[in-house]
Amino acid sequence: MKEDIFINIIKESLPESAKYIGDDTAYIPEKDLILTQDTMIEDVHFRTSTITPYFLGRKSIAINLSDIAAAGGVPEYILISLSMPKNIGEDFIKEFYKGVNSICKEYKTLVVGGDLTGAEKITVSVCAVGSGKGLTPANRRSANPGDVVVVTGNCGSSGAGLHILESKAKIPDETSTKFIQSHINPVPRIKEGRKILQTAITPAMMDTSDGLADALYKICLSSNVSMEVDFDEIPYDSDINLIVQNENTVQNLVLFGGEDYELIATIPEKAYEKLKQEIFIKKIGIVKPAENEPFAYINFKTRQKIRLDEEILGSSPGLFKHFE
């Protein structure tokens, strides 16, 4: 995919920086710093017609905290760069930072600076700083054959929420609210990521911000392993069937929907048995040797099997692609 090509060019251009680039966070061991940055652009990552300034503030922080969670780290500080058109008023700023303040208080994280500039469209760029607190953060490269593949929560709910917002589908209010909240107000799995790191010590871990399928594929590629995943074991809210009454569309939302911000990890079976007593965590598959094919395979009850490779991910209707 084009983004991966660009990342490789950056690594080649900055050879001394290459070892820090490739995961969603950078870890500076001599300082015990975990660093991440994400950007949200109006009409690319969000629309003002479907998210309020308050929830935009919360979400802009949540997606960065999710990267810290995927490293198993502890978030500490936030920097926010906010670019806005001339017609933005004071009410937007007040509500946006109310949202920022509410989520930062929840996760004991402090905003310590940033930048304000003008722009054609609203652009929010957040840098989150955390630490490993004595533990080496998780990455994508540590999956081993024999590990089990686990996920921390439902997949597809955010995609279902976006579908409701964009299609204005007539769904019962309680169901509609539930899925829309999943989309506009994601929960970073800080506690779960920390527990997984403490218990498994060297897990491979990512969040599902770009979709479950994308995370499975990237861990396989980075760790040079394969995976067998049972679709029927993947947790998802059955009310998705009220929104898209088509089995293939349900599968697309669950595998490719994105923005759920759950964690995918590969851990030893013993660690899984312990963790499931402490947090919600679901085993969905197993890691196998790559045998020159570092791909995840999704098995369905119909005995159909799909291989998650670049072609499948590139053609998925649900998966967000930054440069395509």
DSSP letters of 132-181? -TTSPPPBSS---TTPEEEESS-SSHHHHHHHHHHH-----HHHHHHHHH
E strand residue ranges, 208-276: 225-230, 263-267
Q: How confident is the model at residue 316 (pLDDT cuts 50, 70, 90)?
A: low
- State residue 21's pLDDT score: 75
Mean pLDDT of the chain: 92
- Dump pLDDT digits (tens) for 254-278: 999 999 999 999 999 999 999 999 9
**Domain for residue 35, yes or no?**
yes
pLDDT at 298: 96
Q: What's the pLDDT at 312? A: 83
Q: What is the Cβ-side half-sphere exposure of residue 104, based on CA atoms within 13 angstroms?
A: 23
CB 101, CB 109: distance < 8 Å: no
Output the six-digit token pair for 161: 């929420």
Q: What is the pLDDT of residues 69-103, one digit of tens each?
A: 999 999 999 999 999 999 999 999 999 999 999 99
Residue at a domain's end among 64, 99, 131:
131
How are beta strands 204-207 and 263-267 bridged, if at all? antiparallel
Q: Which of 17-21, 162-166, 311-315 is most confident?
A: 162-166
Is 25 contained in some domain? yes
109: domain CATH number? 3.30.1330.10
Structure letter (DSSP) for residue 93:
H
CATH number of the domain that 176 lies in? Answer: 3.90.650.10
DSSP label of 121? S
Query: Given this model, what pLDDT does residue 160 score?
Result: 93
Q: What is the pLDDT of residue 196?
A: 98
Tell me, what's the pLDDT at 247?
64
154 plus 219 within the same structural domain: yes
Q: Are residues 221 and 247 in the same domain?
A: yes
- Residue 318 has a pLDDT of 57
Whether 320 maps to a domain, the answer reads: no
Max Cα separation, the chain?
Answer: 58
The residue segments making up the domain with residue 268 are: 148-315
Stated as kind and residue range, the H or E segment containing 269 is helix 269-275
What pLDDT is attached to residue 1? Answer: 57
* Inside any domain, residue 322: no
**Rounded average pLDDT over 295-304:** 90
Same domain, 72 and 166: no
User: Do 220 and 96 have their domain in common?
Assistant: no
Same domain? For 222 and 294 the reply is yes
pLDDT at 224 over 50: yes
Amino acid 323: pLDDT: 42
- In angstroms and rounded to an integer, the radius of gyration of the C-alpha atoms of the chain is 19
More confident call, 55 vs 302: 55
Q: Is the pLDDT of residue 321 over 60?
A: no
Encode pLDDT of 177-202 as tens digits: 999 999 999 999 999 999 999 999 99
Residue 124's φ and ψ, nearest 5 degrees, are -120, 120
The count of structural domains within the chain is: 2
Instruction: Verify that 228 and 119 share a domain, yes or no.
Output: no
